[in-house]
Amino acid sequence: MDLYEILAEDYRAIFPSSREKLDFAESFLEGRPGNLLDMGCACGEFTCHLAAPGRHVTGIDPDGAMIRVAREKSSPLRDEAVQFRNADMLSFLSEAPAEYYDGLFCMGNTLVYLDGEEELKRLLALSLRVLKDRGLLVLQILNYGNRLIGPGYVFPSAESERIRFERSYRASEEPGKLDFLTMVSDKTSGETHRDRHRHYPFLCESIDQAARETGFSHVYLYGGYDRKPPEGEDFFHLAVIRKGYDENDSL
């Protein structure tokens, strides 16, 4: 059984979507209606939080178990405001209509599952194509410029009443990448499931440069949901990237 299939039922308990994350997103959306896309939505909690009058929100994730749970948890909203699709972000964006979305979100360190700089540039080019003028692309990523976040780093344990989820990084045999080691333990039976993924540790500075080269007009970098400037010791960074801009936009 895939590790994330085991995690799906408990994902909201282990990684609840915070009020601070939603407030950060809404500080740019300002309650406006429109079409939004949450890429790497997992069990869809943040996707549902984005729902508001006049909005249509789509959540996508490549893991089918996550999407199943997302649909179950969001059933009162789904038909009118929120939909979920089992898809990876590059394939989904490739098939999406041009200039359709008002906002794209890729939160929770999902970006690192891209294969490298070329796939990042492809994601940015596809995002530029599907965004309306003045639309936003919001990317969240761990701060891999922080010297602590690398081989040997052990993430804080995350747990629900039923399971414990442990994660760590180690050096990868593939140059420029990190091995992301994960283990889920059943607290009752003691049964464990282990997995390994490859992460590409993008830096906010490289995202900034690639976005501008792709054709985005403005890129803003933050060191937290409070919009503070990015610093070397931050745990994560955020890039808010706009297609087009005028003096009335709030960034």
- Residue 228's pLDDT band, with cuts at 50, 70 and 90, is very high
Phi first, then psi: give them for residue 165, nearest 5 degrees: -120, 120
For the sheet with 163-171, list strands across it: 158-159, 163-171, 178-186, 192-199
CA separation for the pair 61, 89 (Å, rounded): 8
- Residue 3's pLDDT band, with cuts at 50, 70 and 90, is confident
Q: Quote the pLDDT of residue 78.
A: 60
Residue with tokens 């009058």: 53
Q: Quote the pLDDT of residue 73.
A: 84
Percent of the chain clearing pLDDT 70 (strictly above): 95
Is the pLDDT at 247 greater than 60, yes or no? Answer: no
- Residue 250's pLDDT band, with cuts at 50, 70 and 90, is low
Residue with tokens 């990876």: 88
Phi first, then psi: give them for residue 208, nearest 5 degrees: -55, -50
Q: Quote the pLDDT of residue 123.
A: 98
Using a 10 angstrom Cβ sphere, with 0-12 exposed, 13-18 middle and 19 or more buried, the burial of residue 62 is: middle
Is the pLDDT at 80 greater than 90, yes or no? Answer: no
Average pLDDT over residues 181-203: 94
Q: Quote the pLDDT of residue 249.
A: 57
Q: Quote the pLDDT of residue 244.
A: 87
Q: Quote the pLDDT of residue 21.
A: 97
Domain positions in the chain: 3-145+202-242, 158-199
Average pLDDT over residues 185-208: 94
**pTM (2 d.p.):** 0.94
Q: DSSP string covering the chain, please?
A: --HHHHHHTTHHHHSPPPHHHHHHHHHHHTT--EEEEEET-TTSHHHHHT--TTEEEEEEES-HHHHHHHHHHTHHHHTTTEEEEE--HHHHHHHSPTT-EEEEEE-TTGGGGS-SHHHHHHHHHHHHHHEEEEEEEEEEEE-TTSTTSSTT-BPPPEE-SSEEEEEEEEE-SSTT-EEEEEEEEETTT--EEEEEEEE----HHHHHHHHHHHT-SEEEEESSTT-PPP-TT-SEEEEEEESS--TT---
Instruction: Please name the CATH architecture into which domain 3-145+202-242 falls.
Output: 3-Layer(aba) Sandwich (3.40)
Q: Quote the pLDDT of residue 226.
A: 97
Residue 174, both tokens: 């593939």
